[in-house]
Amino acid sequence: MIAGGCLCGACRYRTDGEPLNVRVCHCRRCQKATGAAFYARVMVPLAAVAIEGPVGWLAADSGIRRGFCTACGTTLFSERRSAGTIGLSMGSLDHPECFKPTEHIWTSRKQPWLQLDDGLPHYPEGPPA
């Protein structure tokens, strides 16, 4: 079981879906959406996630819909409905220590002061197909 929620506690989610991947994205869209240098997330099947609370959604032209708590603004989700997947923000997980990213994507947009020396694969854009 994976569970998490927002800073104020108004939004909660849970899933028993198996993680499809765990990635860190450095693209500008993720930086803007999270207000951080990167977006670390656990991707799971969309159909396996139960969401409760006042979640707001912002659709982007990239095909990703981003979910956030309308009460406190916590970034919670990055949903790609066409692929049937949803990314769970690692910072919103109840137990983020249970997951370790396997790769960095969009490193061509990484902040120049950020040093990636964790030994994980880096991809200048999206992961290889």
Domains of the chain, earliest start first: 2-111 (2.170.150.70)
Token reading at 29: 């869209």
- 106 φψ region: left (φ > 0), alpha (ψ -120 to 50), beta (else): left
pLDDT 10s digits, 37-49? 999 999 999 999 9
Residue 105, C-beta contacts closer than 8 angstroms, at least 6 positions apart: 23, 24, 25, 26, 27, 123, 125, 126, 127
Q: Could you tell me how far CA 49 lies from the centroid of its own chain?
A: 14
pTM of the model: 0.94
**66, 33 contact by CB (below 8 A):** yes
Over residues 72-112, the pLDDT tens digits come to 999 999 999 999 999 999 999 999 999 999 999 999 999 99
Given a cut of 90, is residue 60 above it in pLDDT?
no
Q: Name every residue whose Cβ is closer than 8 Å to that of residue 20 and which is 6 or more positions away in sequence.
A: 43, 44, 45, 85
Residue percentage of the chain with pLDDT more than 70:
100
Q: pLDDT per residue over 13-30, tens digit each?
A: 999 999 999 999 999 999
Task: Tell me the H-state helices in the chain.
Answer: 28-34
